[in-house]
Structure 1
Amino acid sequence: MLDRRTAPAPDRRVARATGALYLIFVLIGVCGFLLIRPHLYDVTDPVATLSQLITNDSLARVGIALELGIALSQALVALWLFRLFRSVDVVAAGAVLAFGLVNAVAILTSAAMLATAQTVAGDPSLAPGGDAEATVQFAYAISANLWGAAAIFFGLWLIPMGLLVLHSGWMPRPLGWLLIVGGVGYILSAFVTLLLPDVGAAADALTIPAVLGEFWFVGYLLIRGARSLDVSTASGPALSTPNAI
């Protein structure tokens, strides 16, 4: 790992592109998971879920498209984060890439489950045993649990991201620590949700540092880019290496 004072100067164009992709990823996630899904999926009533999917077919298909967009945008963000930070620590940057891709695959699988539910809603005869309500509810339950399990890898991708912020010296150090704490919180939230299903508010609270850290990280990349340290504190001029893949 390179010393903070001798880390190669960041490419601000790559930094801002990474911030833009991350912002797209966050916005798609908010629209798809937090806004659209609650209008379609009734956790306690399979009949209501099927009815909502039939009545709101276009909205449901937009939700599936957004779910695909989440997987696509996270894969791109993971790649661009690797491109930005690989000169700092290739192992930590590779971990961000790997954990991000695993999380993207989980969301991609969730999108496939939502698409399956919508296909059955459009043609109930395709449901096993002819029970369209149970099939649709089952598909949405799997999708929700995929999101819950994927929280582990989302937390894992925030931890090396925070370490890279700390070791690069390009961003405020408190941001790095906030991302690390947020990553740990996300991992814990996956276990709290599983082991203590009646305390959902506690699991949600564990993810607050991650949300704050992500918005700070995105905002910093978009507004400030990534700034190299003042070279007067270093033993020599900052190194400069290309950030092309």
Structure 2
Amino acid sequence: MENKVSSLKKTARFAGLLYLIWIITAIYGLMYVQPQTIVAGDVVATANKVLANEFLFRTGIINSIISSTVWLLIGLTLYRLFKQVNEHQAKLLVTLVVVQIPAVFFMEALDITSLMLFKGDILKTFELSQRQDLAMLCLKINNYTTIILEMFWGLWLFPFGMLVYRSRFIPRILGVFLILNGIAYVIHCFTHLLLPDYQALVFQIATPIWTLGEISIMLWLLIKGVKNNIQTVDQQ
């Protein structure tokens, strides 16, 4: 039993470490790179910012690739941690992570294309304003792809939350937080697409829920790992 607890703790703490790295990359990309390179609705200002901060823009692309790689590793590590609880739900968790990866790489291809357009490396026969409009189109497609991906950011948290709730070696309340987190992502996604005027309001309401759910599970996995007593783990 001690060996089992030790093994689970190592796996859980590794998942927590990966989660921490992923959160750091998300903060860097969304809260640092984007504000310094993108000006919503202003093509010329965005072009000037991207060109003035080209290296930063490129680090954002690398950051997204690293983030996606870590994201995949999180899914695989959580599968290893929870497969004894319910293998079908653990496989569903991994599947909902894996299907997101191609979309992220497509988005980064759009970022690279937009940079090349802003610099005039491609479509040189086009007018500057035309290249800038095409580059902005790439960035807008990127943005709407992110909105669609938000659905999957929510969906994967449902099996994750259920697995945490059923595992008994992680506090059940964290599983509830994750499910609420997932619901918040899904609602925000649909609001953004169907009722965009209310998106900002829903974002303000959802942000504390997102923070509570994923920060809580990350800290538990990283610091505690699993409970010492795991005799009550469900075997299903």
TM-score, length basis structure 1: 0.86
**Larger CA deviation: 123-132 vs 50-59:** 123-132
Give me the identity figure in percent.
Answer: 29
Aligned-partner Cα distance in 1 for 2:124–2:211: 38
Give the aligned residue type for 1:105: P
Equivalent residues of 2:97, 2:156 under 8 A apart:
yes
| Secondary structure of the structure 2 residue equivalent to 1:87 | coil
Confirm whether residue 159 of structure 1 aligns to residue 158 of structure 2: yes
Structure 1: 5+ residue stretches without partners: 1-7, 240-245
Tell me the amino acid that sits aligned with residue 202 of structure 1. L
Counterparts of 1:228 and 1:128, CA distance in 2: 67
Q: Check 1:111–1:172 CA distance in 2 against 1; reply closer, same or farther (3 A cut).
A: same
**Aligned mates of 1:147, 1:206 — CA distance in 2:** 16
For residues 125 and 105 of structure 2, what CA distance do their matches in structure 1 show? 23
Corresponding position: 1:74 with 2:71: yes
Cα distance between partner residues in 1 of 2:72 and 2:230 = 33
> What is the Cα deviation at residue 126 of structure 1?
2.4
Match of 2:195 in 1: 196
In the TM superposition, 1:80-159 aligns within 5 A as: 80-123=77-120, 125-126=122-123, 129-130=126-127, 131-159=130-158
Give the deviation of 1:171 after TM superposition: 1.2
CA RMSD of aligned residues (A): 2.0
Give deviations 1:86-145, integer Å, cap 9, x for gaps. Answer: 111111111111111122332222111111111222225426844121011111101111
Gaps of 5+ in 2: none
Whether 1:179 aligns to 2:171 is no
Deviates more, 1:208-217 or 1:22-31: 208-217
Matched residue count? 227
SS in 2 for 1:189: helix
Moved over 6 A (4+): none
User: Take 1:230 and 1:42, find their aligned partners in 2: how far apart are those partners?
Assistant: 51
Amino acid at match of 1:68: I
The whole-number CA distance in structure 1 between the counterparts of 2:107 and 2:228 is 39
C-alpha distance in structure 1 between counterparts of 2:49 and 2:104, whole Å: 22
| 1:208 to partner: Cα distance | 3.0
